[in-house]
Amino acid sequence: MKRSREKAASELFAALYPRLAGWCRRLVDDDGTAHEIASEAFTRLWARWTTVEEPRGFLYVTAANLVRDHWRKLERERRALHRVTSEAAVRPHSEQADPSVRMLVQSLPERLRVPILLHYYADMPIREVSALTGRKEGTVKADLHAARELLRVHLRRSLDHTP
C-alpha cells in the first residue's frame, strides 16, 4: 500500500512539477522562488495525500495562494524601501509607479484573482476552473469578465496619468 502511494506521488510529481514550476516562474519572475513555491505546493499535497480528490487542482490553487503571499511580501518590502528612500531624499515631484499587470492581478479580490490565475496563467479551461473553485461555469465566466473590466479600468487610469 505504501509503495503504491509513493509510486503514484512520484508519477504525479514527474508529470506536473515542470508545468507547475513554469507557471509559477511566469508569475514571480524568479526561478528559485518559482521552484520553492512549486515544491511547497507538492509538500502540502503530500501531507494531505489521502484526502485530496483532485491533486492537480489542489496544487494550482495552493501555488496561487503561495504566489499571492509572495507578491504581498514583495509589496511590503517595496513600501518599506520607498519609506526609507523617501525619508533619505526629498524628491521634487512624486513618481508614478509603472503599473504591471502582475501587480494589478495581485490587487484583485481573491474571488476574481484565482479564476484569472487558473484560466489565463495556468491555461485551464473554464470547465476545469469551475470544478476546482466549486463555482458554476457561468459564475466563473462572470468573474473573469469582472476581473478583466477592473484590470482594464486600472490600466487605462494608470496610462492616463503617464507623462
**pLDDT for the residue 118:** 86
**pLDDT for the residue 92:** 43
**pLDDT for the residue 80:** 67
Residue 143 and residue 115 in contact, taking contact as beta carbons nearer than 8 Å: yes
Residue with cell 512520484: 10
**pLDDT for the residue 142:** 95
**pLDDT for the residue 108:** 87
**pLDDT for the residue 162:** 55
**pLDDT for the residue 40:** 96
**pLDDT for the residue 78:** 78
Its pTM stands at 0.58
Q: What are the b/e assignments for 8-45, b being 16+ CB within 10 Å?
A: eeeebbeebbeebbebbbebbeeeebbebbbbebbebb
What grid cell was written down for 118?
487558473
**pLDDT for the residue 22:** 94
Mean pLDDT by 10 residues, the chain (163 residues): 78 94 92 95 92 92 93 80 57 46 82 88 86 91 91 78 56
